[in-house]
Amino acid sequence: MSQPIEFHPTGSFADRSRAAVNNAPLRKSFRGAMDFLQAKRLAQFPNAADLSTLRDLGSAIRRYALANLPNLLVQLEEKLTANGVHVHWAETPAEANAIVLAIAQRHKATHMVKGKSMVSEEVGLNHAMEAAGIEALETDMGEYIVQLAGEGPSHIIMPAIHKTKQQIAELFAEKLPGVAYTENVDELIRIGRQVLRKKFAAGDIGLSGVNFAVAETGTIFLVENEGNGRMCTTVPRVHIAITGIEKVVAKLDHVVPLNSLLPRSATGQAVETYQNFISGPRKPGELDGPDEVHLILLDNGRTQAYADVQLRATLQCIRCGACMNHCPVYARVGGHAYGTTYPGPIGAIISPHLIGLADTYPLAFASTLCGACVEVCPVRIPITDILIRLRNEAQARPGSVDATLRGSGAARTAVVSAIWSAWSTIYSRLGLYRWTSWFMSRGRALSPTEQGAWTRCRTPLKPAAKRLRDLLRERRK
Ligand code: SF4
């Protein structure tokens, strides 16, 4: 069993959500961004039948990979090793950080440039490197902004989506020496690029995430839009890629449909600006590329999800973020309110495995179960079914057959226990059950006959039934 990562968000989920809902600029940023992303995604999928077929294919590819995960991971390791890539296995965030640190220390590295990697956020890599005296600099523009602000990402694809351009202008003017306040977005990007360009040249180690790891060929597939990912994987002498164990796919052919779904679902782009296929270190005679390539495969609770036939579907995720973009809760409270690395619907279903249900069960209840996430998920993860299952797990009696996860039963209170115990007693005795049913049915008299505040938009049962009876009587005449 993996160890939980550090989890110290301030206040409860309810407190953080309340603060977010009362933050007007934040609400405006998220509402505008989500509307924009929803419209862009919709424009990319004009034909519902084509989309449905592609989603079926994407789902099948991911389910096939998960069904064969142990064998595919072994195959991936063999192929990568044959290609000259060093493969490392980490069960916990601490182990992953120790592997990166050992590589860095062997190379006497002091500067690390990072491409976008949510797994590196998950393991708290930046803090671990800084504690060891190594600068770990984010080079994705959104990640760079939130790092400069001392924050974490609020969205898995667009980390700084919660910030307005005025806030970014203030941040740059405050944190970057010699930079004047400007709200010109092109100018802000130029400033950021100028700072980062020098850092790429000075980087001893480049660290990146992985979109898919192809077992058949031993290929690390990585997509991005800014070119910073390619700079991180080619300029420094050492490249370290880090990923969860679930990102493996069986064949190179399988990347094509998945990557047809990924950018269109994520940002509404037809295709990403850069697609990187990394198969090993630089070969003799090649001008570009690192001397050493490492891949770290992280568990961190994923095997807990894998062991359960229903929860395994969580691992199908390709981290597109579409479920967040369409979630009415996420759109209102934003990513930071969740307090976890992965926010939104995917965060609510993956975080209990990474951190434990005890600290994360409120997220499973932070859903209207409207199913918008399920409708847009490109790999058809049954998110709402999984949310209901996690709610049940959170309420399960510790030690019972229903309590299968780390932290199961954390939401169960003495009142809930008493109610279930009474329910069980009544339903297991026929006479008691009949008497209770008779007694409870007397309560029908308490049901409202007129519209109260909460029924203003509904038709009360008794008048509706009376109308129906009258109608039938009238028709029979
Ligand atoms: S759960 Fe589905 S929609 Fe959400 S990030 Fe994962 S693949 Fe995308």
Q: Evaluate: CB of 318 within 6 angstroms of ligand 1.
A: yes
CB atoms within 10 A of CB 160: 24
Calpha distance 194→155 (Å, rounded)? 25
Residue 4's pLDDT band (cuts 50, 70, 90) = very low
Q: Evaluate: CB of 4 within 6 angstroms of ligand 1.
A: no
Q: Evaluate: CB of 356 within 6 angstroms of ligand 1.
A: no
Going from N- to C-terminal start, the domains of the chain cover: 6-40+321-412, 45-303, 429-476
Structure tokens at 377: 């998920």
Instruction: Summarize pLDDT for 466-475 with one digit per residue, the tens.
Output: 887 888 888 8
pLDDT on residue 460 = 63
pLDDT on residue 9 = 66
Q: Evaluate: CB of 343 within 6 angstroms of ligand 1.
A: no
Mutating to test ligand 1, I would choose from 37, 246, 324, 379 the residue with most ligand atoms within 8 A of its C-beta, which is 379
Side-chain-side CA neighbours of 250 within 13 Å: the count stands at: 13
pLDDT on residue 455 = 57
pLDDT on residue 409 = 92
- Our separate counts of H helices and E strands in the chain read 22, 10
Separation of CA 148 and ligand 1 centre (Å): 28
pLDDT on residue 406 = 92
Separation of CA 56 and ligand 1 centre (Å): 14
More confident site: 451 or 424? 424
- 17-26, 226-235, 411-420: which is most confident: 226-235
Residue 373's pLDDT band (cuts 50, 70, 90) = very high
Instruction: Summarize pLDDT for 374-407 with one digit per residue, the tens.
Output: 999 999 999 999 999 999 999 998 888 788 899 9
Calpha distance 341→324 (Å, rounded)? 13
Instruction: Summarize pLDDT for 155-208 with one digit per residue, the tens.
Output: 999 999 999 999 999 999 999 999 999 999 999 999 999 999 999 999 999 999
Q: Evaluate: CB of 315 within 6 angstroms of ligand 1.
A: no
Q: Evaluate: CB of 261 within 6 angstroms of ligand 1.
A: no
At the topology level, CATH places domain 45-303 in Rossmann fold (3.40.50)
Give residues with Cβ within 8 angstroms of 50, minimum separation 6.
none
For residues 357 and 406, the answer to whether their CB atoms sit within 8 Å is: yes
pLDDT above 90 (res 451): no
Characterize the bridge pairing of strands 219-224 and 274-278: antiparallel
Instruction: Give the ligand 1 atom nearest the CA of 314.
Output: 1
Instruction: Give the ligand 1 atom nearest the CA of 322.
Output: 3
Instruction: Give the ligand 1 atom nearest the CA of 344.
Output: 4
Separation of CA 317 and ligand 1 centre (Å): 5
Q: Evaluate: CB of 379 within 6 angstroms of ligand 1.
A: yes
Which residues, in sequence order, are bridge partners of residue 277? 221
Mutating to test ligand 1, I would choose from 55, 311, 315, 323 the residue with most ligand atoms within 8 A of its C-beta, which is 323
Q: Evaluate: CB of 403 within 6 angstroms of ligand 1.
A: no
pLDDT above 50 (res 76): yes
Q: Evaluate: CB of 346 within 6 angstroms of ligand 1.
A: yes
Q: Which of 149, 117, 153, 93 is nearest to 339 (CA)?
A: 153
| Average confidence score pLDDT of the chain | 93
Instruction: Summarize pLDDT for 258-292 with one digit per residue, the tens.
Output: 999 999 999 999 999 999 999 999 999 998 899 99
Instruction: Summarize pLDDT for 315-343 with one digit per residue, the tens.
Output: 999 999 999 999 999 999 999 999 999 99
Q: Evaluate: CB of 378 within 6 angstroms of ligand 1.
A: yes
pLDDT on residue 3 = 38
For residues 140 and 226, the answer to whether their CB atoms sit within 8 Å is: yes
Q: Evaluate: CB of 381 within 6 angstroms of ligand 1.
A: yes
Residue 6's pLDDT band (cuts 50, 70, 90) = very low
Region 51-60: what's the mean pLDDT?
Answer: 98
More confident site: 420 or 47? 47
Region 283-308: what's the mean pLDDT?
Answer: 95
pLDDT on residue 1 = 36
Which residue's alpha carbon is nearest to atom 8 within ligand 1? 320
pLDDT above 80 (res 215): yes
More confident site: 304 or 457? 304
pLDDT above 50 (res 39): yes
* Percentage of the residues of the chain whose pLDDT score is greater than 90: 84
Q: Evaluate: CB of 58 within 6 angstroms of ligand 1.
A: no
More confident site: 155 or 1? 155
pLDDT above 80 (res 235): yes
pLDDT on residue 153 = 95
pLDDT above 60 (res 459): no
